[in-house]
Amino acid sequence: MPKFEEISAKQLIILSEILSESSLRQIEFIRTKYLRQSINFSETITFLQELGLLEVRSNEIVPKPKYAALLEEMKKSRESDELIKKFIFHHLLIYKSPLTDYFDAFLSGFHLVNDRYEFTPSFSQRLEYSGVRNFLIGLGLLHIDSSETTYRIDESYPLIDVDFKTSSRMSPDEFLMVQRRREDIGRAAEFRILEYERTRLSKHPSLAEMVEHVAVENVTAGYDIRSYNDVLSENGSPIPRLIEVKAVSPWDYRFHWTRNEIETSRANRQNYYLYLLPVAGRNNFDIQGLRIIGDPYLNVYENKNEWIRAEELIAFALSQY
């Protein structure tokens, strides 16, 4: 069983802050600085190694790319503690590691209740999962109700990741609830981008007034919003911007792209845009983290160096028809 009892949010925050601030990352130097503030240095390093976030080479700590990017982001953030906490939870959810089976077994107890994930463990389960429970409480992502019998994942966390992780063991009713919630999140993201586009075009009121929420009228259009570039074409006509909005995880920008949307992006190349809007919690989006991608057929679909494609649907038809 993984020793979550020896790992805490405080330890991860302290080590990450030291790594973020230090250009010198020799392990003895980092160890000395760390042990002035916390405990279990070796266990904390091992935990991050098992999550695939760093490695030790020739007595030097070497962060992997995603963790290195987080360390850089910490330098600019006023909420670096929250960045680390949510980043670690997300990585536990998606990364296959020696911790995965144990963590998945714990997560399998959670079910969607009133739009929140809850787990009411038995006495033996409370003992078995006490370490990971306390670890997640320390991350601020798990709460225990007043009776101390039910665990709840914090509603501020973007649960689209949890939905993805638990989808294989959902009941039909839970699956429908998740689908409805995803639709609600997606529609809320579209409204946020409508607002964003009208603000972007505020110096061109006639164009701002023409921004149209296509998805509410035509779900087969292959995009959600018809907007415009803020410069006119050579003949003076407005240049359309066909926008497909995706509510995404703030960490890996995972999204689903339908065949119809892909074909629409291919047919409209320079006029088609993906707007990837990170979910920051219940009815909350990180507009500062918005990624706008022009010609996504080229820059996403055909860009295998930057984007990982996972084919999740396979269509079948009877061969005699």
| pLDDT tens for each residue of 46-55 | 999 999 999 9
* Tokens coding 55: 């490695």
Question: What is the distance between the alpha carbons of residues 317 and 12, in angstroms, rounded to a whole number?
Answer: 51
pLDDT digits (tens, 9 = 90+) for 255-281: 889 999 999 999 999 999 999 998 877
The CA dihedral of 68, 165, 99, 60, to the nearest 10 degrees, is -10
Structure tokens at 178: 């998740």
Rounded to 10 deg, the angle between the 27-35 and 9-21 helix axes is 130
pLDDT of amino acid 303? 93
Does pLDDT of 242 surpass 90?
Answer: yes
Query: Angle at the Cα of 84 (from 81 to 87), degrees rounded to 5?
Result: 145
Domain extents in the chain: 4-153, 174-301
Residue 315 DSSP code: -
For residue 212, what are the β-bridge partners?
A: 226
Q: For Cα atoms 313, 180, 291, give the angle at the middle one, nearest 5 degrees.
A: 70
What is the per-residue pLDDT across 137-189, written as a single tens digit (0 to 9) for each?
998 889 998 877 899 888 766 555 555 555 555 566 766 766 777 788 889 99
Query: Average pLDDT, stretch 101-113?
Result: 85
Q: Which residues of 238-265 are buried (b: 16+ CB within 10 A; e: fewer)?
A: bebbbbbbbbbbbbebebeeeeebbebb
